[in-house]
Structure 1
């Protein structure tokens, strides 16, 4: 549930898991912001999919338009304001519930606070990893402008001066590192 989102978003990974071919996508109209921290995202396309809430005895089904994105997310989909408007649903973020009317009474969709917390943690870790990866890519791109040291053999992998170990993925607990020169210029 994302009441701040003006879009319904579906991740390509979810579309693939559903067995829906990408050839069913229509071209998207424009990029959007706010899903990837500080970046503009261009959808792969749009798709209309039926969405059903609850059980056969009391359910609501509507067709929603989703923007399909090609990057990894921590959710399967994000339901935004277009979903709430179509279902005439009322989200309650305090109780983590979504309520909408059904043919046989009110339909309540909810989750646990534990699951919401786990999703938030995973989302924050993912955003931090994206930011770290981008910063590392910028540092590596800037470092390629430096000329290689002519004193070092082309086949040597030993550092001629001090080295610094840096975690490859700070959000991972596997401890994999890479060694970089500790005396590299800031450029």
Structure 2
């Protein structure tokens, strides 16, 4: 990765085991430059870079910064207040690009992602907008979690199990 960021001579990397690595940057500016680019992918698997913490849990980091686009917002809804209201329901907003309807949001990876949202104007008009997470590859399209894909979804498994327990039309034949 240091080569991909064109910083290979200014970063050292150490494998800490258990899927964790330590990158040491020679300057704060280099660190900030890299952190602004996240989340990152290697062979379509996402990984997160965060500033080091003295004590970490096994599933740390929970917060993943995503550039999020809001698609389908009517022009009369296109105001900073409305975009901020929608974005704040997804996570903490770091940066907002009003002209693009795009925000850098700190998303809690322990919660399901939301891909659609109903918005309502003061006049009562309701519109469904699409939420697009840039650089999101692997996630579960059933429950919205980033911890697994559709084939390993426990929500899907419990639905399948209920179908099996109940049986089909020909179970009693």
For this structure pair, what is the TM-score category when the shorter chain's length is used for normalisation?
A: under 0.3
Using the size of structure 1 for normalisation, the TM-score is 0.24
Larger Rg: 1
Using the size of structure 2 for normalisation, the TM-score is 0.25
